[in-house]
Structures are given as structure tokens and as C-alpha cells.
Amino acid sequence: MHRKTRFWSVFAVVGIMGMVLAGGSISHTMQVIKKVPTTHKVVALTFDDGPHPKITPTLLAVLKEKDVKATFFVLGENAEKFPAALKSIADAGEEVANHGYSHKFSRQLSDNDFIKDVSRAEEAIARIAPRPTLYRPPGGGYTDRRVMDLKQRGYTTVLWTVDTRDWDGRSSNDIVNNVLSNVKPGDIVLLHEGDFAAATPAAVAIIIDKLREKGYSFVTVGQLLQYYELRE
């Protein structure tokens, strides 16, 4: 009896692994997404901490001019403060995602308070934009339990591959060079909205042009997940 049970347990695990490796529908829901393994030269630009009354319109103008769609990880409190800016993101066809309500780091919240924070942000966002299905924890901190709690609420947890550190007051050239030196197919690039990210819109315009010269195209995180595939 034990051998038979063990056999079917192994069989189930192998089956799940096979689906993950084959790029099946469960693959990106079984883990935290930092990038997508793909041979296609696609990159997702992501913007945290918005919306922002000044940076958001400038970013949207750049993205529209370059014909690029991106993913905006929105703070619930900023969605409430600047609803017009959030509406402009949604109306532009950009992907709106959840970044929590007040940018509290994971270690600052109990498990129950964490879910309340996510839910509060979700409610604020959903008043104006489609209900988000992607979540990025402030600072990138997470636990397995919280990833599973998020999954049960219909969320995929998304981190990043390339941290531009634009939140650190870096120049446009520094931001651009960071991305160009590190980006690879399937990567997720972390950028920000905020007074501290004044150089970001100009950097984004250059990043788009330079990566296109290298054969890259730009997708939202949701679109990037569709590229999940075996490495060749």
C-alpha cells in the first residue's frame, strides 16, 4: 500500500514538473516571477509607486510616442489621491497592477494585515481601472505563505530582473546604461514614478530606442507570461 501511494505521489510530481517545463498554463502560477525564460527578445517595462500627477502624464506621453505598452504597479493610496492619473493609465491601455496600499514592507505586516493591505489597494484601483491580477510586494519581500495567499486571491506575484535604481536619484544616462548592460530576453525592468524619479521618463525614451536597435520588442508583464517556454 505504501509503495503504491509513493508511486502515485512521484507520478503526480513528475506530471506537474512536466507541465511547468512545457510552459503549461500552471507554470507561472507555481512560483514568483522574476523573468520569463524565452529565446524571444521581449522585455517588460514596469513602473512602481504611482500614479503621480507629474511623472505619470510624462511617462504616458513617451510610451504613446514610442507605441509601447507597460505595466504600472499602483499604490492604493496614490490611486485615491490621484484618480485622474490612474484613469489616464487605464485609458491609455496600459496594464494596471497592485503594489499594495501604502508601500509597507512585508516584514512590517502580519499575514492578516498583509492581505488587508492588498485588498484595500485592490478596492482603490478597481474603482477606476480593471481589477488587477498581478502583485508586486514593496521592496520585493515575500514569503511562501503570502505567495500562496495571493494565488488564492487570483494574483501572480511579480518581482524584477533589472533594477534601474532610478529611485536613488540617478541620472538618465545611469539608468539607461544600467538597463543596456544587464537586460536579456524575457527580463522585467524595474522603474518608478515619483518626485525622486524625475529622470525616468527621458531614460525610458532612450531605453526603448536603444533596445529596439538591438531587436527587442516591449510587452506588458501579462503578455510576457505568455512567452513561458523551454530554454533552447
42-94 pLDDT, tens digit per residue, is 999 999 999 999 999 999 999 999 999 999 999 999 999 999 999 999 999 99
Q: What average pLDDT does range 200-219 have in this prediction?
A: 99
How sure is the predictor about 149, in pLDDT bands with cuts at 50, 70 and 90? very high
Q: What would the mean pLDDT of 168-178 be, rounded to a whole number? A: 96
From 28, 48, 99, 187, active-site residue: 48
What value does the mean pLDDT take over residues 223-229? 86
Q: Is the pLDDT of residue 17 over 70?
A: no
192 has catalytic annotation: yes
Choose, from 28, 52, 99, 192, the residue flagged as catalytic: 192
- Is residue 7 over pLDDT 90? no
**Fold adopted by 31-227:** TIM Barrel (3.20.20)
- Please tell me which residue, 9 or 125, carries the higher pLDDT value: 125
Residue 48 catalytic? yes
For range 28-38, the mean pLDDT: 80
Mean pLDDT of 121-134: 98
Distance CA 9, CA 70 (A): 41
- Where exactly are the structural domains of the chain? 1-27, 31-227
